[in-house]
Amino acid sequence: MTLSPESSVHRRCPSSSTRKSDSSKYTNDNDNDVMEIEFDDTKPLMSTGFFLSQGSRRKPSAPARPSRQTSFKQDIGHAAAETYLITGLAFKLLHSLGVGYRWITKFVALACYAMLLMPGFLCVAYYYYFSGQVQRSVVFGDQPRNRLDLHLPMNLDGPKPVVVFVTGGAWIIGYKAWGSLLGQQLAERDIIVACIDYRNFPQGTISDMVTDASQGISFVCNHIAEYGGDPNRIYLMGQSAGAHISACALLEQAVKESGGGESISWSVSQIKTYFGLSGGYNLFKLVDHFHNRGLYRSIFLSIMEGEESFQKFSPEVRVRDPNIRDAISLLPPFTLFHGSSDYSIPSDASKNFVDALQMVGARAELILYEGKTHTDLFLQDPLRGGKDDLFDHIVAVIHADDKEALSKDAVAPPRKRHLPEILLRMAHHISPF
């Protein structure tokens, strides 16, 4: 049963590569066969989303912004190429996972879950493809997935705060469009949202994902003013796997800055707050949990470049390293959100990371939502519309120093409901996540 926002429990802590080869091998623990996945870096691996023409869309009342969109013909060709490639990779990945009872039941549950939420998804998809407030696939790097979507407020009458968002997807199915609902709702509160895309496994491994995220953050920090954003009010947010990737990128940047020897294209000081939603931050503790849920150890090790890389890509572990104490002092405040009934990534993952940050003197807080699952906070609750504690908290932090924005928030209309309550409750119970 989904609980109301008022039932959430708050716990606040006081302030205080280069790829190794062109193929990945891993073992299916069900049948002990070795499956080799081969991929070609010369071909783009994007999502199956199709990028439509921007020609006749309604424009928001704002100063002219740089045009970084491709032509309709290029969009269709790009979409066809990436659809072909991702389909082939998907079949290879499914073959390696094995079609056992566990995966069949999860697939059936996922199909039912998607059908229940489909009316809401279609509403968000219509906004994503046809709204003049969305600039899709802005290029920020030279890799195939180096694209981001910008969700812009209707009225750009002055520099707006910016949220850089890294989506989840188990490091395998992440895609920038997954942040469209968040982008739409924050844009209604005069906040720009930049949803970053990144290479997924098997096209890339964790170091590629962190590099892509860092390059996307760099682009926003250096170019968001061209789109009406305020470069002095940038917030970083990630959900699920995206929370892990963005935390890794932020910590790695802090380490670079504290070392002083490497040139940097963006600074940790430009990030005012980090928001982590339902994330996992310690790979040592997650590997067995994911294995038991079907993301087999061999595949997880391939994604994370082997167990020898766990410390580097485990922010909870890395912040305890006395050798990077100078980097810790550069970090912005951390606010982590988690549901107590999250079985995909247990809420202890966020609790332990907050504890680790506080122990080394970083500013951190945990907000725990009683009875919420992995998808409630990011999908069902936003689709429900109306009042939402998590959304209100994020907006309050971003607008904390803007009295005019706070006064507008106080009289803002309730967020639009996208689905009947009965469908949302059924989705809560049937969700495979």
Cis ω for the linkage preceding 382 (within 30 of 0): no
Residues paired with residue 47 on neighbouring β-strands, in sequence order: none
| C-beta atoms surrounding 125 within 10 Å | 14
Strand order in the sheet with 160-166: 9-11, 364-369, 334-339, 271-277, 229-239, 160-166, 192-196, 147-151, 134-139
DSSP β-bridge partners for residue 162: 192, 234
Residue 191: what pLDDT? Answer: 98
What values do phi and psi take at 429, rounded to 5?
A: -80, -25
pLDDT tens by residue, the chain, 433 residues: 444 444 444 444 444 444 333 434 444 444 433 334 444 443 333 333 333 333 334 444 444 455 444 455 655 555 565 555 555 555 555 555 555 566 677 778 778 888 999 999 999 999 999 999 999 999 999 998 999 999 999 988 889 999 999 999 999 989 999 999 999 999 999 999 999 999 999 899 999 999 999 999 999 999 999 999 999 999 999 999 999 999 999 999 999 999 876 788 999 999 999 999 999 999 999 999 998 888 889 999 999 999 999 999 999 999 999 999 999 999 999 999 999 999 999 999 999 999 999 999 999 999 999 999 999 999 999 999 988 999 999 999 999 999 999 999 999 988 889 989 999 999 888 887 7
Terminal Cα-to-Cα distance of the chain (whole angstroms):
16
Residue 250: Cβ-neighbour burial (10 angstroms; 0-12, 13-18, 19+): buried
Angle at 143 between CA 50 and CA 243, to 5 degrees: 80
Q: 116, 2, 136: which is closest to 68 by C-alpha?
A: 136
Q: Are 45 and 89 in contact (CB under 8 A)?
A: yes
Distance (Å, rounded) from C-alpha 287 to C-alpha 303?
A: 11
Topology given in CATH for the domain delimited by 5-430: Rossmann fold (3.40.50)
Active site (catalytic) residues: 240, 342, 374
Q: Which residues contact 378 (CB under 8 A, 6 or more apart)?
A: 168, 182, 239, 240, 277, 278
The per-residue pLDDT for 36 is: 40
**At residue 388, what is the residue type?**
D
Q: Token digits for 115? A: 């059908």
Q: What are phi and psi of 339, to 5 degrees?
A: -95, 140
Other beta carbons less than 10 A from residue 32's beta carbon: 8
CA distances from 100 to 112, 205, 252, 339 (A): 19, 25, 38, 29
Sequence-separated contacts (24+) of 251-260 with Cβ below 8 Å: 251/315, 251/318, 251/319, 251/327, 251/331, 252/210, 252/214, 253/214, 253/217, 254/324, 254/327, 254/328, 254/330, 254/331, 255/324, 255/327, 257/327, 257/330, 258/324, 258/326, 258/327, 258/329, 258/330
Give the per-residue pLDDT at 101: 60
Task: Tell me the domain boundaries of the chain.
Answer: 5-430
Cα 16 off chain centre by: 27
